[in-house]
Chain A
Amino acid sequence: MELERKLEILADAAKYDASCASSGGERRKTSAGMKGVGSTTGSGICHSYAPDGRCISLLKILLTNVCIFDCMYCVNRRSSDTPRAAFTPEEVVGLTLDFYKRNYIEGLFLSSGIIRNPDYTMEQLVRVARTLRVDHGFRGYVHLKTIPEASPELIEEAGRWADRLSVNVELPTQEGLEKLAPEKNLRRIQGGMARIREIKEDDLDRKKKANTERQRSQVSQERSFAPAGQSTQMIVGADDANDRAVLFRADTLYKSYQLRRVYYSAYSPIPHASVLLPPKSPPLVRENRLYQADWLLRFYGFSLDEIVPKDLGDLPLDLDPKSAWALRHREFFPVDVNTASREALLRVPGLGVRNAERILEARRFGKLSLADLRRLRLPLAKASPFIVAADHSPGLVELSNSQLRVKLGVPAEQLLLPLSRS
């Protein structure tokens, strides 16, 4: 099979993985006179964008899409009729270097269908990464998919060569996996993540404990284990798990295994899908709401119960989760931008982490008025009903929730009551 055709099949097969991040790793560069090629800046670069709006940062491909698993949501499941192909490790290495030298990509994101058994497959992935690093002095970004059933030695070696490892949990509950992905198991998946966290922490510990000069110079030359940490992906809308279940799993994984990112990927209907799967995608806005909620969990000091109360189950689609919380908690507002704490500012709809910090800094020089806030480029249309400034108070006319919803950007037609059916 021609290389071009393989690339077509194996890029197509890999595109359902949402992650394309190349950030969060260590900084490396290729200084004058060094062999090899590549650098990482720590913040990642999107080298292109596809018409689906998604960033293209890495060469994201499968080593092969032949797979002995039968995950129903996956186009590469063993019972699917999709055309199959396999790269040789050398072909992947060559494409990565050729693309990289032309500044198309930040590096490689390599995953694979499971061939023969988990260890054999993991060995192939590790081989590609090792060849890039050792034989070609490649200093660009490498993300390897990790198979939780693979032996700990292989996971450890994968992390030696890769910047990031990821184990995909795919669905938030064991029940969901049993229904749609009978070879996958939540405990084994979490066990894999636990192992990655353990190895990474042991690695850091060892470096910290290096006392003597010689030990220090030795560890500084060693590669760190997965310096960009680990991430995972959950498919949303393939099973009937609600947003609370999705975020409960995400919250658990973040805290238990120190994940850098959980990616949420709205299920895309695939050809010849099982009858157990929905015929169409969930609204893409659901994915968006989950990312917003994820941010609130990690950077805004919200708890899971605040974002999705037990009795709600799903995030509202017509309103971002912070605004939805604000409407449920009118007693918290208004927040005075001239006196409020960082934590309180972060709870105002429309205000981000950076906005809050700008307010804290600017108010040291005098009381902030609405004009000041405008110059700080705050989204006032959204925030003004919830804040007090030197010349502004929203309390004079009590705004009704329905008016607030309009201010928060809910399209007016969604406010109409459904026609009575009787």
Chain B
Amino acid sequence: MGGRIHAEASNFEEWRNVSRELLARAALPEQVVWNEDQEVELNLGVEEKSKPPLPSSGPVRVSDEFVRRAKGVACHVDLDTWGLLYRMLWRMTRGEERQLLRRANDVDVRSFELKEKAVRRERHKMTAFVRFRKVEVTGEETERERFVAWYEPEHDVVYLAAPFFRDRFSSMDWSILTPRTCVHWDGRELSFSEGASFQERPDEDELEKYWLKYYASTFNPSRLNISMMEREMPRRYWKNLPEASLIAELSNGSYGRSEKMKAELEDNPKLQGRRPKGAPDGRERGVIRTSDEIRLRGEGLTLEALRDQAQLCRACPLHERATQVVFGEGPPEAKLMIVGEQPGDREDLAGHPFVGPSGEVLASAIGELGIDREAVYVTNAVKHFKWRPSGKIRLHQSPAPKEVHACKPWLVHELEQVHPRVVLCLGSTAAAAILGRPVSVTRERGLRDDPGLPYAVVVSYHPAYLLRIVDESERLRASQQFYADLEACKQFIDTM
């Protein structure tokens, strides 16, 4: 093994310059002794004079990622940091382990990550726990306020944290004093200076009394959890946090005790149960729990009254996960009633039928065919949105026959109030609800001549189906049929 080589670094730039040189000399990591004078004189062995530099083997290239992360790690105060960084640099360049950083189970990488984490945490805590105090600016005339903080970070993270304070407080003048490094902002640029001493910390700020009052009042004594507090705000930070002076009293319950004792009054029962003007009523009165109730309660009601009643419907479990009932819309004298399957995601939010993508298809078809919008009533066979979770969104689910059945009396009431001449059923659910039997849309498309109904029935595709067809020619064919079916409905509006 070669002789020992002494190297010095106190910040990242110095380490980088020295390390470049060391690599060029092909100095093995185990040969290099960093900042020896600070280290305990132990097992350094007999020192040899270092060998003359070896020929360099080209420029040193490491990933930007390593440089970026090493800059952070370099703020760590531990004495072995420089040696670790050099060893990793060696392994990534001379050792051909370019992907070293990806090996989280490697001893050096683990140590690197732990230091990185400690530095990152310390930087973060600095952005959290610095407490500025306002100081009077004497002498010059200025509108800018000046603030000063005294802070003692464990690692030298002032350079890392300074941009945070610049980006947040650029309209104020401020300084953060720490034992190793100080940083100042004058509205134009950051400047750094040598460490300061505790004696230079700013005087008290009178606003701190409000902050202390806030800290004490936002604390919930019934949930005392000191260990959790100490984990996130360890004691070593307390001496520079004004609010920490209250922790002892707050924790043992002595804070403000005398004041709290006298505040024992009675509730005012007169104010209970009497709703003041302006307060809404939250209770659901007259909830509907069965199909029979829908039948009875809806008898003879106007569309408006039906719509209100329907909001109280719990005849099937779909209401549990839906925002609201999406009732039919349109004039009571509409000649065409269009019945879809059920509201979708957008309809559920808006409370109106056919406002989503299917609604757009339907609206443009109605427009193109020149059907008078005032002559159309649109509704659905099922009035609540049925869905299942899929990742972060709601995915449409077809209603089960029993849900269609439970909801049907609402549709019957709508038909009775509207008296349409023709009913257009979009999709098999709607067709089944109207015709009272299972229907295959592809086989029974178009005008149906089922007897016994006081209105004509046209069966067509649901617009959502048209949107789903991938094959271009197939989609074109289905669209044409859809338009033809609407055209058939139009005859009933126009001729009678």
Q: Interface size (A, Cβ < 8 Å)?
A: 99
Contacts A116-B278, A365-B105 supplied; 17 other A-B pairs, CB < 8 Å:
A8-B216, A11-B217, A15-B218, A30-B167, A30-B170, A37-B169, A45-B124, A46-B128, A47-B129, A50-B229, A95-B210, A102-B147, A185-B282, A187-B284, A194-B324, A194-B348, A194-B350
B223 pairs with A256, CB closer than 8 A? no
Q: Interface size (B, Cβ < 8 Å)?
A: 94
Q: Report the Cα distance A182→B281, complex, angstroms.
A: 7
A134 proximity list for chain B (CB < 8 A)? none
Is residue A31 within 8 Å, beta carbon to beta carbon, of the partner chain? yes
Q: Which residue of B lies closest to A187 (CB)?
A: B324
In A224-239, the 8 Å CB interface with B consists of none
In B129-163, the 8 Å CB interface with A consists of 129-134, 145, 147, 149
B496 proximity list for chain A (CB < 8 A)? none
A46 proximity list for chain B (CB < 8 A)? 128, 232
B191 proximity list for chain A (CB < 8 A)? none
Is residue A391 within 8 Å, beta carbon to beta carbon, of the partner chain? no
Q: Which residue of A lies closest to B166 (CB)?
A: A32
Residue-by-residue, is A21-50 near B (CB-CB < 8 Å gives 1, otherwise 0)?
000000001111111111101000111111
A268 proximity list for chain B (CB < 8 A)? 220, 222-223
Interface residues of A (CB under 8 A from B): 3-4, 7-9, 11-12, 14-16, 29-39, 41, 45-56, 59-60, 68-70, 78-81, 83, 95, 98-99, 101-104, 114, 116-118, 120, 149, 174, 177-178, 181-185, 187-188, 190-191, 194-195, 197-198, 248, 251-252, 254-256, 258, 266, 268-269, 271-272, 281, 284, 303, 358, 361-362, 364-365, 368, 372-373, 375-377
Interface residues of B (CB under 8 A from A): 99, 102-107, 110, 124, 127-134, 145, 147, 149, 164, 166-172, 187-189, 205, 207, 209-211, 213-229, 232-233, 241, 243, 247, 250-251, 263-273, 275-276, 278-284, 311, 320-321, 323-324, 348-351, 387, 389, 392-394
Question: In the complex where A12-B217, A37-B168, A197-B349 touch, is A53 in contact with B226 (Cβ < 8 A)?
Answer: yes
Question: In the complex where A7-B210, A56-B218, A103-B130 touch, is A41 in contact with B104 (Cβ < 8 A)?
Answer: no
Q: Which residue of A lies closest to B394 (CB)?
A: A255
Q: Report the Cα distance A353→B202, complex, angstroms.
A: 44
A15 proximity list for chain B (CB < 8 A)? 217-220
A32 proximity list for chain B (CB < 8 A)? 166, 170, 187-189
Scoring B99, B145, B215 by chain A CB atoms within 10 A of each residue's CB, the highest score goes to B215
A188 proximity list for chain B (CB < 8 A)? 280, 282
Q: Which of A38, A183, A269 contacts B280 (CB 8 A)?
A: A183
Scoring A51, A68, A195, A266 by chain B CB atoms within 10 A of each residue's CB, the highest score goes to A51
Shortest distance between the CB of B350 and any CB in chain A (Å): 7
List, sorted by A's number, 30 A–B pairs whose CB atoms are closer than 8 Å: A14-B218, A15-B217, A15-B218, A15-B220, A37-B169, A39-B164, A52-B225, A53-B225, A54-B228, A55-B232, A70-B273, A79-B269, A101-B169, A101-B172, A104-B211, A117-B279, A120-B278, A185-B280, A187-B284, A194-B323, A195-B349, A198-B350, A252-B320, A255-B387, A255-B394, A272-B266, A361-B104, A375-B105, A375-B107, A375-B110
A68 pairs with B392, CB closer than 8 A? no
B271 pairs with A49, CB closer than 8 A? no
A373 proximity list for chain B (CB < 8 A)? 105
B104 pairs with A284, CB closer than 8 A? no
Shortest distance between the CB of A18 and any CB in chain B (Å): 10
Shortest distance between the CB of B425 and any CB in chain A (Å): 28
Question: In the complex where A47-B129, A368-B105 touch, is A52 in contact with B229 (Cβ < 8 A)?
Answer: yes
Q: Which residue of B lies closest to A140 (CB)?
A: B168
A50 pairs with B250, CB closer than 8 A? yes
Q: Report the Cα distance A48→B102, complex, angstroms.
A: 35
Question: In the complex where A36-B171, A49-B233, A362-B104 touch, is A54 in contact with B220 (Cβ < 8 A)?
Answer: yes
Question: In the complex where A101-B132, A365-B102 touch, is A117 in contact with B164 (Cβ < 8 A)?
Answer: no
A376 proximity list for chain B (CB < 8 A)? 104-105
Shortest distance between the CB of A67 and any CB in chain B (Å): 9
B105 pairs with A34, CB closer than 8 A? no
B147 proximity list for chain A (CB < 8 A)? 101-102
A120 proximity list for chain B (CB < 8 A)? 278
Q: Report the Cα distance A177→B281, complex, angstroms.
A: 11
Q: Which residue of A lies closest to B205 (CB)?
A: A102
A101 proximity list for chain B (CB < 8 A)? 132, 134, 145, 147, 169, 172
Scoring B207, B223, B227, B232 by chain A CB atoms within 10 A of each residue's CB, the highest score goes to B223
B324 proximity list for chain A (CB < 8 A)? 187, 190-191, 194
Q: Report the Cα distance A281→B226, complex, angstroms.
A: 18
Shortest distance between the CB of A9 and any CB in chain B (Å): 8
Q: Report the Cα distance A51→B110, complex, angstroms.
A: 33
The 9 closest A-B pairs by CB, nearest first: A53-B228, A53-B225, A117-B278, A29-B167, A185-B282, A11-B217, A372-B105, A50-B219, A81-B265
